[in-house]
Amino acid sequence: MENQFTSPEPMPMPKSPRPVVIYYCAPVVHPATTKLRTALCNAVNLGVPSTTIFMSSVGGSVEEGISLFAFIRSLPVEVAIHNIDHVDSIALAIYLAGSIRRANPDATFLLHDFYFPHPVPISNRHQASDLSVSFTAFRQKMTDILKTRTNMSDEQFKSLKFLDEPVVKTAAAAKEVGITHEIGLAVAPVGRVV
């Protein structure tokens, strides 16, 4: 008797890979960040010429946000990022990694000081000191990212006081200081793989 169960023929790859849209509507935590890294790696490995991330995030892990910023900046393809609703807290670092940054007209950006969203057990003074040093380093990294990836003057940056007081920026206000480049509705272009 012949085997009735045969493997289907593999889907032929298009001759020229099309640009890809990735939806990232999640906090900046595992496993969502791992899935984003995997999707971006897959796009690169398939030879996709450009990728757009449609993003909305409440923020999350400071370490993950800074790490994803560096990861996206290291990719050998153009990565555009579009704020489709809100980019809050450390998610802003990921957003600023985009080579092209767009925002829906009603999108917002929340900037504020960092904190750990879950209790960190501290059993001795060295751990407390390590935590303080780590916080200071992450604050400096985010400051550097904002200064290098936007067109804020030193005065604008100082007046922002984002590490002292929470600040919500509209898409229009974010465009004025270079957080976003363009304002327009997110629409996946015809022919893109979603």
SS (H, E, C) 115-168: CCCCCCCCCCHHHHHHHHHHHHHHHHHHHHHHHHHCCCCHHHHHHHCCCCCCEE
Q: Minimum mean pLDDT among 80-84, 99-103, 143-147: which range?
A: 143-147
- State the pLDDT at residue 8: 58
pTM for this predicted structure: 0.86
Structural domains present in the chain:
20-116+125-183 (3.90.226.10)
Which residues does 145 contact at the CB level (< 8 Å), separation at least 6? 66, 69, 93, 96
Least confident residue range of 46-55, 76-85, 97-106, 112-121: 112-121
pLDDT in tens, 118-145: 566 777 887 777 877 887 888 889 989 9
